Amino acid sequence: MTIKIAILGMVAWLPLIASGQPAAQVKPDLVRAAEIVSGRCFLCHGLEGESASPIFPRLAGQHSEYIAKQLSEFKSGKRKSDTMKPQAEDLTPEEMKALGAFFEGKKSAARPARDPELVAVGKFIFHRGNQFSGVPACSTCHGPKGLGTPQLPRLAGQHPRYSEDQLKQFNTRERNNDNAVMHTVASKLSELERNAVSEYIATLD
């Protein structure tokens, strides 16, 4: 009788195995994520991922996989940060995924251009690059609207100060946890281009 039940159970799973579908999808625990956010993340990133301070990134609308990856690399030390490492050290992989899903579900907002002429320069670099200095178009990897991919960050609506700081860190190799392409790109940007692109990114929605 026991063998018969076991065989029937295996038969029930065969359609899932044949289709290549996972037996069960574990949903992110958004309640747990909200607890973590309200307990620590909100101090820098806001309860909705809006980040009131320009030195901290806006996480609203960011890809969940990208957030989980960054948290994992803060924890391991692959991405250096005296601020984020202690915040990530006790997080489990499941909590990192939940935090990613939590922030991805929040609404990201663009901001009006503060300097239209500077933003126009940034728009040109973002979409066309600079053929004279070898800077590629940012949109090639991050998309025409700066929405990115699960592997590449969403840039749209990000604080200009934060974007500019990251470009500086890629240039100096202070940040080296992501692809080496950014080291090359950042090293070719002039200060004007870096500032202009960062201002333009902030206006994207």
What one-letter code names the amino acid at 134?
G
- Compute φ and ψ for 130, nearest 5 degrees: -135, 100
Domain at 30-104: CATH code: 1.10.760.10
pLDDT of res. 113 = 94
Domain 116-202 has CATH 1.10.760.10: yes
Query: CA 156, 183, 185, 204: dihedral to nearest 10 degrees?
Result: 0
Give the containing element (helix H, strand E) for 137.
none
pTM comes to 0.86
Per-residue pLDDT of the chain in tens (205 residues, 90 and over written 9): 444 444 344 444 344 444 454 545 789 999 999 999 999 999 999 999 999 899 999 999 999 999 999 999 999 999 999 999 999 999 999 999 999 999 999 999 899 999 999 999 999 999 999 999 999 999 999 999 999 999 999 999 999 999 999 999 999 999 989 878 999 999 999 999 999 999 999 999 9
pLDDT of res. 24 = 56
Which residues have a Cβ under 8 Å from the Cβ of 147 and sit 6 or more positions away?
154, 156
DSSP assignment letter at 82: T
pLDDT of res. 100 = 98
What is the number of alpha carbons within 13 Å of residue 99 lying toward its C-beta?
28
pLDDT of res. 80 = 94
- Cα Rg for the chain, rounded, in angstroms? 21
Q: Residue 130, SS3? A: strand
Q: Where are the domains of the chain?
A: 30-104, 116-202
